[in-house]
Structure 1
Amino acid sequence: MTDDLATRLRRIEDRLEIEELLARYANACDDRDMAALGACFASDFEFDSVAGHAVGREAALDYYRGRLGLYGMTFHIPHTLVLQEHEQDTAAGLVTSHAEMELERELFVTGFRYSDRYVREQGRWCFRARHVQAFYAMPLGQLAQGLDEYRLRWPHAGPQRAPLPELLPSWDDFQRSRST
């Protein structure tokens, strides 16, 4: 096999392994399998969301235990992966996802995007960092009312603006171009 073909094959295998990592993460969250979830994280894993920031695998697992403990059943679905960078043992990607979650006996739905950094540790791809931003989060019954600018509607908090897509420079440029 030529070097070029071997390199291309390795990139395809890496991509498939990273896509499998996304599925393992979602399943571990939904199954509340903390051992499997921890295996998805690099030792220096860093997680960042509107609900908190955690540095290190153990701190992240503590964060996830607390957050997942708020929900009944959950169903996380990763949809797309765009690899933005890819080196031999590191990569970065953008993952579009959604989740369905039972919260206070009500079904919530949320659409969000992860900005990820991946690293190969001990021959296996894992998350080095995840930063999540939401497009929306609300009770399923409210979704039919439409997605206004206050699309984050969590219990015990007033409606809030969602960061996506409005904070994206491309979104802003597009909106300005329409008004001229």
Structure 2
Amino acid sequence: MIRTIEERLAAVEAQLAIRQLASSYARAVDSRDIQLLGELFAPQTRFGEHGTGAAGARAFYGPVLARFYRSFHQVVGHVITDLGSETARGTVYCRAEHEDGDQWIVNLMVYFDRYVAIEGRWLFLGRRPRFLFVGDAREAPRSVDFNKWPGREEDFACELPQSDASWNSYWNEREAERAQVTTLP
């Protein structure tokens, strides 16, 4: 498929805008800019009982962000897939750190995103975080669930990497090697 220079340029511009969206989310969360945070979501994005769109986002994130004093979200990798003229998907790797009382908790996570362009502006249609590790940064994850945020174990179900089909396929074919590098399931 031969694409025109205009089509290629539009794809590059879309990717840059989508990458900026993920970074803007991190900045809005960490600066507690609830107004900006709401503006990053499409009008049809659902936030359960909190509503939809910008108002739903603000109603959802306001109380969530009040649960810890400081946070730092570091976007460390972004893969954009299924890029069309008005829709796309992506995965965003993130290291998020949270001050929770006297605790300093690290979340290693991947956001699974859906994006939509509305009037030329890329917005989140949906964000689903999945966690790799939650706990004290000074401790190595040594349990199956990797969730060590005292009092918030129910809030963060650590699913990755074991929930990826490719992960299981890879290690199922290499049982002997796996046994040499870990004693965990």
Q: Using a 3 Å threshold, how does the CA distance of structure 1 residues 53 and 155 change in structure 2: closer, same or farther?
A: farther
Contact 2:95-2:109 within 8 A present in 1 as well: yes
Deviation at 1:55, TM superposition (A): 5.4
Match among 145, 150, 164 for residue 150 of structure 1: 145
Report if aligned partners of 2:145, 2:159 keep a CA contact under 8 Å in 1. Answer: no
Superposed, 1:37-116 pairs within 5 Å as 37-46=37-46, 56-57=52-53, 58-116=55-113
State the identity %. 28
Closer, same or farther: CA 157–95 of 1 in aligned 2, 3 Å: closer
* Cα deviation 1:76-134 (Å, max 9, x = unaligned): 11111111211101111111111011012211101101111101123211100011100
1:74 offset after TM fit, Å?
A: 0.5
Q: Distance in 2 between matches of 1:158 and 1:81?
A: 27
2:118 aligned with 1:121: yes
Note if 1:14 corresponds to 2:23.
Answer: no
Mark the CA change 1:153 to 1:131 in structure 2 (over 3 Å): closer, same or farther.
same
Q: What's the secondary structure of 1:44's corresponding residue?
A: coil
> Counterpart amino acid of 2:138?
G
Quick one: distance in 2 between partners of 1:80 and 1:99? 13
Q: What is the match of residue 162 of structure 1?
A: 158
Aligned residue identity for 2:90: G
Paired AA for residue 155 in structure 1: P
Instruction: Name the counterpart of 1:32.
Output: 32
List 4+ stretches of structure 1 deviating above 3 A.
52-55, 157-161
> 1:44·1:55 contact (CA, 8 Å) conserved in 2?
no
Gaps of 5+ in 1: none
TM-score scaled by structure 1? Answer: 0.87
1:148, distance to aligned residue in structure 2 (A): 2.8
Within 2, Cα distance between the matches of 1:60 and 1:161?
22
Question: So what's the TM-score if we normalise by structure 2?
Answer: 0.85
Runs of 5+ consecutive residues of structure 2 not aligned to the other structure: 177-185
C-alpha RMSD over aligned residues: 2.2
